[in-house]
Structure 1
Amino acid sequence: MSSQLTVLNALDAAKTQWYHFTAIVIAGMGFFTDAYDLFCISLVTKLLGRIYYTKEGAPKPGTLPPNVAAAVNGVALCGTLAGQLFFGWLGDKLGRKKVYGLTLILMVVCSVASGLSFGSDPKAVITTLCFFRFWLGFGIGGDYPLSATIMSEYANKKTRGAFIAAVFAMQGFGIMAGGIVALIVSTSFDHKYNLPSYQDDPKGSIVPELDYVWRVILMFGAFPAALTYYWRMKMPETARYTALVAKNAKQAASDMSKVLQVQIEAEEEKIEKLTMKESNSFGLFSRDFLKRHGLHLVGTTTTWFLLDIAFYSQNLFQKDVFSAIGWIPPAAEMNAIHEVYKIARAQTLIALCSTVPGYWFTVAFIDYMGRFAIQLMGFFFMTVFMFALAIPYNHWTKKDNRIGFVVMYSFTFFFANFGPNATTFVVPAEIFPARLRSTCHGISAAAGKAGAIVGAFGFLYAAQSKDPKKTDAGYPTGIGVKNSLIMLGVVNFFGMIFTLLVPESKGKSLEELSGENDGEEAPEQAYAARTVPV
């Protein structure tokens, strides 16, 4: 007889129901907010430079110094890394649901506080902004392991990959929403003030009211998070945590009976036998874990680390790339509002045409192609397109070829999302034991954010190397961008290599993957035989 619990069989064999879509929306809105909050900062960094670092009589508008730009862009990523480790561990200790609402509260409070950053001088404003964005990132970090784990433990095994990927795909809508909000806010201010370009009138191109623009854009991130809080608190704890970690068979059966609308038998004796087995009691730092899942954890951490170096470099600094090739005009030819508008328009266009479709291609195909094939394919094409942009870089900077550059650059976003950006999120939520699942996902995600920090800081400084023939605009240009693209191509190539350590999890139950079944595959017939409609 299979050692698989009836309640877990019920979840694995359940047909797609309304509760699946509800869980996707509830968890996905967190990721919508995460992406909005993380990437909206790239829309306003140029504006911050104009407002706080433009010197009187300067021939060009001010820009954030490299160390300040690195802090503004990277501090939320540092907070996210810390939050992933902390909340990942806490989710296994206290339960997924108990800490799920806390992450949202942090995100709401710190989004508002970021927009209210105060101070009497630029240094004070930037310091308080960085402080609140660190704690904003801390809350965002908790959303990664908790949302992934909750969705994986709610889903059936046939469409689990699509459900987890759909949660993560909300990130694409969050990135696009950031651009749309910035377009609306900048257009509203532009119609009201109709400011001249900087080169026409340096003093007239900046007015005190511009300080509201970046604050409104940052504060909007609190809105979707606040809407989701009530529904998160209404979700029951996952049956896998309740049964396998908390060892409460009665509560697990009761919760899932309501969710699945079937009567499920509580099996206290079977839970005791499962949890007392030596094979199901090893810890994270044990030899048994190293033997069973050590290479898996190496695979999930290294691939996510390498992926995020490329992905966050592309997202946070795409405005610099577009400026370098001339798709966005030099800063002196625009006023501050026009610059926000053009950066937001470029980011929204990229998100609409490549980022969002890439995510949903993964949702559509992940349970047919498998995680491994999609991840390997994504890294391969990201490598190809990065080198195709970098090697003939001078060709792409010519005016007639800029559209071609943007199209090629868009393909790197598409294959990041129809590829490793989605699968690195999905796989760690499937292959580790329930009592360590949130922790291991948090470790994998934190490795990714370490890569994001490398990408954010590394691209910023690498791109400061300028082509002596192109010194206009105060943007990273020339050989700095070219070298950065080459480095990102190499990073993606190594991502392909380390993908070989990641197991395929398509079509298998979580317990089968983690070994909590003691190696037995639970037949779906057991579910059908031991549940009756309510």
Structure 2
Amino acid sequence: MSSYNNNVKLDAQELNNRRREALSKIDNAEFGWFHIRACLVAGVGFFTDAYDLFAINLIGFGYLADRLGRKKMYGVELMIIIVATLGQALSGNGSVLSISAAIIIWRVFVGIGIGGDYPLSAVITSEFATTNRRGAMMAAVFAMQGFGYLTTGIIAIILLAAFKSSIHDDVKNLDYVWRILIGFGCIPALVAVYFRLTIPETPRYVLDIENNVNKAERDVANVLKENRNHLQSENDNEPVVSNPNIAKGSLSDFAAYFSKWENFKVLFGTSMAWFALDVAFYGIGLNNSFILSSINLGGLKGDNWGTCWNSAVGQIIIVLLGAVPGYWATVFTVERLGRIRIQVLGFVMSCILFCALGFAYNEIRNTSAALFIILFALTQFFQNFGPNSTTFIIPGEVFPTRYRSTGHGIAAGSGKLGAIVAQVGFSRMKDNGGSNAGIPTLLKIFALFMFIGLIVTFLIPETKGKTLEELSNEDDESMSTQHNALNEEK
């Protein structure tokens, strides 16, 4: 009996070494075309998400990706977005269902697709990335949102210019514009579907969830274009080599892992930071008419074409002033400054700027419209060069493989709960006491949420320069002990 246990221990040690070697190759690989392709394939989803605007995020796809695999779910969510986007563009009035009701129904499905895209794109990018470029790769994926916003405005301007005379002749011709505008969002998504469906499963999922060491070694060699002559072919019908030290995901294991404070505080911190950020981020986005009116790009009474034109031009200006520079500042500095420093900086500056705009709203607007726009652009910059980017990056790094997608989905879902609070709870406050009279109060509330986001940030560990295994708060020995204990309970 003793000899048998010793053999098992030696086998387990060898498997752990093979696991570490496979992961080390991924973590320390030379940056190459595969990493660029992974960013582009993941980033197209965020381009489309932003193009289609934002909807309710659900955690369902995050859980399924942990249970069934990243590869099996990746592409499915994009196909849902494509079908639902086309459904919106082709919606019409009927005796049973009005056009507005049809669009709302399709938007629910778009929300489901987007809810899947967040955790899947984050986790697949993080699990394929090298350790020293992981944050930059994930930030680059997320930064595609900025280009999505920008492209929406550009396409809208092109369409409005093309249909200008026909819209002036008959305002109903605006119908062509919004349908083409929405439908155009399917084009980049259709291009990306093939690549998403053919992307390999991440080696970490194969190692830690499928628990197939041989397959993971082959996949790593395949991704890195290594010489695979020393590895057995997949067609050789070799037995599956499993590592007994790997803990399996289950409800009891989930409860055991997150019942520990050092793990729960990370889940709470990432979720609450995302919630606090999105209250302000979406609160501003849903009430930006007061910004556009400050640069004479507000609505024009009796001129539907002019109102749409001003809205499109205003969106482009706002995105170019704050959003796009903020996103890419994160991409280029996240590996030097670290995620937490950027998130703290973003929350602090956003809090200060919202306080300035909230407490001196009328004074600033009456003194200088340019100053008002500059301050607002800075809030956009520091939200994107700050928590809007890092709240996406960090949850894709800090959880173990078996819960990485689920954890990211929970954090992202918390963020979208914040968006709902902003839309349902605050949208009516804007006009309390008159048109836009409630804006100063809203800005003060947003400052409070930025402060809350700052406080919970200190519950989250810095992830810069650490492997995903280091960040999971587990080592091989503890994983083995936990796994054996759960098996004994069963």
Instruction: Give the TM-score, by structure 1 length.
Output: 0.81
- Is residue 154 of structure 1 aligned with residue 154 of structure 2? no
CA distance in 1, matches of 2:299, 2:102: 30
CA distance in 2, matches of 1:517, 1:262: 28
- Is residue 94 of structure 1 aligned with residue 68 of structure 2? yes
CA distance in 2, matches of 1:194, 1:215: 14
Amino acid at match of 1:88: G
> Secondary structure, in 3 states, of the residue corresponding to 2:201?
coil
Choose from 358, 370, 388 the match for 2:338.
Answer: 370
Do the aligned partners of 1:111 and 1:220 also contact (CA within 8 Å) in 2?
Answer: no
- Is residue 107 of structure 1 aligned with residue 75 of structure 2? no
Do the aligned partners of 1:321 and 1:481 also contact (CA within 8 Å) in 2?
Answer: no
CA distance in 2, matches of 1:270, 1:373: 42
Structure 1 equivalent of residue 166 of structure 2: 193
Question: What is the Cα deviation at residue 121 of structure 1?
Answer: 8.0
Do the aligned partners of 2:47 and 2:146 also contact (CA within 8 Å) in 1?
Answer: yes
CA distance in 1, matches of 2:95, 2:258: 56
Question: What is the Cα deviation at residue 271 of structure 1?
Answer: 4.9
Amino acid at match of 1:507: G
Residues 63-108 of structure 1 deviation map (CA, whole Å, 9 limit, x = unaligned): xxxxxxxxxxxxx32xxx22xx100000001000101111011111
Choose from 432, 439, 453 the match for 2:420.
Answer: 453
- Change beyond 3 A, Cα 1:220–1:319: farther
- Is residue 38 of structure 1 aligned with residue 53 of structure 2? yes
Instruction: Output aligned runs, 1:223-262, within 5 Å.
Output: 223-262=187-226
Do the aligned partners of 1:326 and 1:397 also contact (CA within 8 Å) in 2?
Answer: no
Residues 238-279 of structure 1 deviation map (CA, whole Å, 9 limit, x = unaligned): 000011111111221112211101247779998513216x99
Root-mean-square deviation (CA, aligned residues, Å) is 2.4
Residues 401-433 of structure 1 deviation map (CA, whole Å, 9 limit, x = unaligned): 212211111111100110001110011111101
> Secondary structure, in 3 states, of the residue corresponding to 2:246?
helix
Do the aligned partners of 2:62 and 2:119 also contact (CA within 8 Å) in 1?
Answer: yes
Question: What is the Cα deviation at residue 518 of structure 1?
Answer: 3.3
Amino acid at match of 2:245: L
Do the aligned partners of 1:35 and 1:171 also contact (CA within 8 Å) in 2?
Answer: yes
Amino acid at match of 1:182: A
CA distance in 2, matches of 1:513, 1:287: 13
Structure 1 equivalent of residue 380 of structure 2: 413
* Higher mean C-alpha deviation, range 490-499 or range 309-318: 309-318
CA distance in 2, matches of 1:163, 1:287: 28
Do the aligned partners of 1:148 and 1:429 also contact (CA within 8 Å) in 2?
Answer: yes
Choose from 483, 486, 493 the match for 2:444.
Answer: 486
Structure 2 equivalent of residue 135 of structure 1: 109
Amino acid at match of 1:35: A
Instruction: Output aligned runs, 1:268-417, within 5 Å.
Output: 271-275=242-246, 283-286=253-256, 289-323=259-293, 325=294, 327-332=296-301, 335-398=303-366, 401-417=368-384
Structure 2 unaligned segments of length 5 or more: list them: 1-12, 233-238, 479-490
Do the aligned partners of 2:298 and 2:311 also contact (CA within 8 Å) in 1?
Answer: no
Choose from 217, 222, 245 the match for 2:186.
Answer: 222
Question: What is the Cα deviation at residue 38 of structure 1?
Answer: 1.3
CA distance in 2, matches of 1:508, 1:282: 28
Question: What is the Cα deviation at residue 327 of structure 1?
Answer: 2.9
> Secondary structure, in 3 states, of the residue corresponding to 1:283?
helix
CA distance in 2, matches of 1:491, 1:281: 32
Do the aligned partners of 2:289 and 2:298 also contact (CA within 8 Å) in 1?
Answer: no
- Is residue 464 of structure 1 aligned with residue 431 of structure 2? yes
- Change beyond 3 A, Cα 1:282–1:218: same
Question: What is the Cα deviation at residue 464 of structure 1?
Answer: 2.4
CA distance in 1, matches of 2:305, 2:321: 24
CA distance in 2, matches of 1:142, 1:169: 18
- Is residue 499 of structure 1 aligned with residue 457 of structure 2? yes
CA distance in 2, matches of 1:288, 1:343: 45
Question: What is the Cα deviation at residue 311 of structure 1?
Answer: 0.9
CA distance in 2, matches of 1:375, 1:271: 39
Structure 1 unaligned segments of length 5 or more: list them: 40-75, 196-203, 468-475, 521-534
Question: What is the Cα deviation at residue 120 of structure 1?
Answer: 4.4
Do the aligned partners of 1:354 and 1:411 also contact (CA within 8 Å) in 2?
Answer: yes
Structure 2 equivalent of residue 439 of structure 1: 406
- Change beyond 3 A, Cα 1:168–1:329: closer
CA distance in 2, matches of 1:514, 1:337: 53
Do the aligned partners of 1:376 and 1:499 also contact (CA within 8 Å) in 2?
Answer: yes
Task: Give the aligned length.
Answer: 456
> Secondary structure, in 3 states, of the residue corresponding to 2:163?
helix
> Secondary structure, in 3 states, of the residue corresponding to 1:5?
helix
Question: What is the Cα deviation at residue 330 of structure 1?
Answer: 4.6
- Change beyond 3 A, Cα 1:122–1:502: farther
CA distance in 2, matches of 1:122, 1:363: 48
Question: What is the Cα deviation at residue 141 of structure 1?
Answer: 0.8
* Higher mean C-alpha deviation, range 211-220 or range 483-492: 211-220
- Is residue 118 of structure 1 aligned with residue 104 of structure 2? no
- Change beyond 3 A, Cα 1:305–1:404: same
Residues 101-128 of structure 1 deviation map (CA, whole Å, 9 limit, x = unaligned): 1101111111111111211489811111
Question: What is the Cα deviation at residue 390 of structure 1?
Answer: 1.4
- Change beyond 3 A, Cα 1:6–1:482: same
